[in-house]
Amino acid sequence: MKDFSDSDLDASLIATIHHESFLAKISFDDFARLGSKQVMNDLDAVGQVQLFSAYSAFLHHLYELYVALFMRDQGSDAGFGGYEGAKKKDALFTAETHRIFSSIHERLSRGKRQGWENDTAYYEPNIPEDFSKKFRTIRNSTAHAITERASGKIDLSDFYRDYHKYVCELYRAASSYWERFDISQLDMQAIGRFSVVVRK
């Protein structure tokens, strides 16, 4: 049952959702631009690191966007920490991804295709069991100074190959709503008040 009695928390979650949506778009746009250069064999060593960083940032901000959405849907931020919180988030990501793919699959089955969409087989709602855990692991690798990021133990190329379509549809589903808002017209709380102007 949703409980929005804590209006300050709800306002903070809304600001966080808009901010993470904004950051996800910036990093996705950078990733798409640099990825196109790599496909054309026009990416130098610095660009390669920027490509890795842009995709990592995109995954990080998309993950945090959905965590904030899950919290707001629940009506509180309780139960999202620790081992039990990790299991909860894994279950929520799996359920949400399944819901999105089921919706697209059903719409395509009725012949209602949107321009860039593939055939129905691409959108089979059989989400890999390890997708949510791998997504969380990748997010953790971008948030902490762990050596797996550079060693390849957590391989971003493998994640892209196996799960990119799932994160793309999560992004499309979220951005279709949240990116309609003009961030300059929103109360972004402390985010919008940040200043480098020295005050006495």
pLDDT of residue 183: 67
Cα distance between residue 97 and residue 58, in whole Å: 17
In the numeric block, the tokens 């379509």 are attached to 165
CB-side neighbour CA atoms (13 Å) of 83: 0
pLDDT of residue 118: 76
Residue 177: both structure tokens together? 């709503």
Query: What tens-digit pLDDT sequence spans the chain (200 residues)?
Result: 455 567 888 888 888 898 899 899 999 999 999 999 999 999 999 999 999 999 999 999 999 999 999 999 998 889 999 999 999 999 999 999 999 999 999 999 888 887 777 788 899 999 999 999 999 999 988 776 555 555 456 689 999 999 999 999 999 999 877 766 676 776 777 777 776 687 77
Q: Helices marked H in 75-154 — which ranges?
A: 82-109, 131-143, 148-151
pLDDT of residue 1: 42
Residue 152 backbone class (left: φ over 0; alpha: ψ -120 to 50; beta: rest) = left
Cα distance between residue 75 and residue 97, in whole Å: 21
pLDDT of residue 153: 65
In the numeric block, the tokens 């808009």 are attached to 18
The neighbour count for residue 24, using CB atoms within 10 Å, is 27
59-78 burial string, b = 16+ CB within 10 Å, else e? bbbbbbbbbbbbbbebbbbe
* Full-model pTM: 0.87
Are the C-beta atoms of 91 and 32 separated by less than 8 Å?
Answer: no
Are the C-beta atoms of 62 and 170 separated by less than 8 Å?
Answer: yes
